[in-house]
């Protein structure tokens, strides 16, 4: 479904991604793990069109998207839930969700997706008129995910959905990610919580200072000494 082929991405003179290649197949949950500053967010932003690769290519369903504008990429079926959630704080929950569907014209489908989002996140349904900025951290994460789902993506990019959440809520969010996947959405998940990420993913890539240094099935990586030492606290 998604093929990233040897991309180099720069911020000015600083090279943040160095020849990164990865693949996500339809139906998978693929996770990208790595330390702070490794380049994980940069990779997601490049896939969603917010950054352009200087070299290399990105294919989505066999079409080149490396260099395409972000809006066009959303239309093709890729939605990103950014790090730190970034909901529109002064708008209501409902307005935030509506914005997720702003490129769509299929009214019936949009209504259907509102109902799906309420089913996945009953908490949001209870708070439709509440200002998004007054939601708890966990609720804002749910809203950011709900908003991305309102675009009816084929591929959902999640940037550290567990960040700053209490352990119980992290579990809930991860359960919801598996449910969204089971309902047919392919997922690329960036996480610092490697343990949780590997527990729900099919495959994983480890990224260090802008390079993919390891990849394999989630099971393989979970058992790898290198991953245990660096990302699983030695367990």
Instruction: Give the nearest distance from C-beta 51 to ligand ATP in angstroms.
Output: 9
Strand partners, 58: 4
Q: Angle at which helices 137-149 and 167-182 pack, to 10 degrees? A: 10
Does residue 41 interact with ligand ATP by CB under 6 A?
yes
Which residues in 144-203 contact ligand ATP (CB under 6 A)? 192
Which residues in 5-24 contact ligand ATP (CB under 6 A)? 11, 14, 16
Part in contact with ligand ATP (CB under 6 A); list of ranges 29-37, 72-80, 134-142, 164-172: 29-37
Among 22, 29, 42, 155, binds ligand ATP (CB under 6 A): 42
Which among 66, 32, 60 has a CA at the least distance from the CA of 158? Answer: 32
Count CA atoms within 13 Å of residue 213 on its CB side: 15
Does residue 85 interact with ligand ATP by CB under 6 A?
no
Number of chain residues interacting with ligand ATP (CB under 6 A): 13
Largest CA distance in the chain: 51
Instruction: Give the nearest distance from C-beta 132 to ligand ATP in angstroms.
Output: 22
- Specify whether the CB–CB gap between 111 and 170 falls below 8 A: no
Among 39, 82, 100, 153, binds ligand ATP (CB under 6 A): 39
Does residue 46 interact with ligand ATP by CB under 6 A?
no
Residues 83-98 as b or e (16 or more Cβ within 10 Å = b):
bebebeeeeebbebbe
Distance CA(15)–CA(21), nearest Å, equals 15
Among 2, 24, 28, 40, binds ligand ATP (CB under 6 A): 40
Instruction: Give the nearest distance from C-beta 151 to ligand ATP in angstroms.
Output: 22
User: Which CB, 16 or 29, lies closer to ligand ATP?
Assistant: 16
Q: Give strand ranges (E) for the chain.
A: 2-11, 14-24, 29-33, 55-60, 63-64, 78-81, 155-159, 186-191, 203-208, 211-217
User: Which CB, 32 or 150, lies closer to ligand ATP?
Assistant: 32
Instruction: Give the chain's radius of gyration (CA, Å).
Output: 17
Interface with ligand ATP by CB under 6 A: which residues? Answer: 11, 14, 16, 34, 36-42, 83, 192
């Amino acid at each position: 479904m998604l093929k990233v082929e040897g991309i180099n991405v720069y911020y000015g003179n600083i090279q943040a991604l160095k020849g990164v290649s990865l693949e996500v197949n339809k139906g998978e949950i693929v996770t990208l793990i790595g330390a702070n500053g490794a380049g994980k967010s940069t990779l997601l932003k490049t896939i969603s069109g917010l950054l352009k690769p200087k070299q290399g290519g990105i294919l989505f369903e066999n079409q080149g998207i490396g260099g395409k504008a972000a809006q066009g990429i959303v239309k093709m079926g890729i939605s990103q839930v950014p790090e730190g959630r970034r909901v529109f704080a002064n708008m209501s929950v409902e307005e935030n969700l509506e914005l997720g569907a702003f490129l769509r014209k299929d009214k019936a489908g949009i209504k259907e997706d509102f109902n799906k989002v309420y089913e996945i996140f009953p908490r949001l349904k209870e708070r439709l008129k509440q200002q998004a900025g007054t939601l708890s951290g966990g609720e804002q994460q749910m809203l950011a995910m709900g908003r991305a789902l309102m675009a009816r993506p084929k591929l959902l990019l999640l940037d550290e959905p567990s960040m700053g959440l209490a352990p119980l809520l992290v579990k809930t969010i991860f359960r919801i990610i598996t449910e969204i996947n089971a309902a047919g959405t392919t997922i690329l998940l960036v996480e610092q919580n490697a343990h949780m990420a590997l527990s729900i993913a099919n495959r994983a890539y480890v990224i260090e200072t802008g390079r993919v240094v390891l990849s394999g099935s989630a099971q393989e990586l979970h058992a790898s000494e290198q991953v245990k030492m660096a990302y699983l606290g030695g367990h």
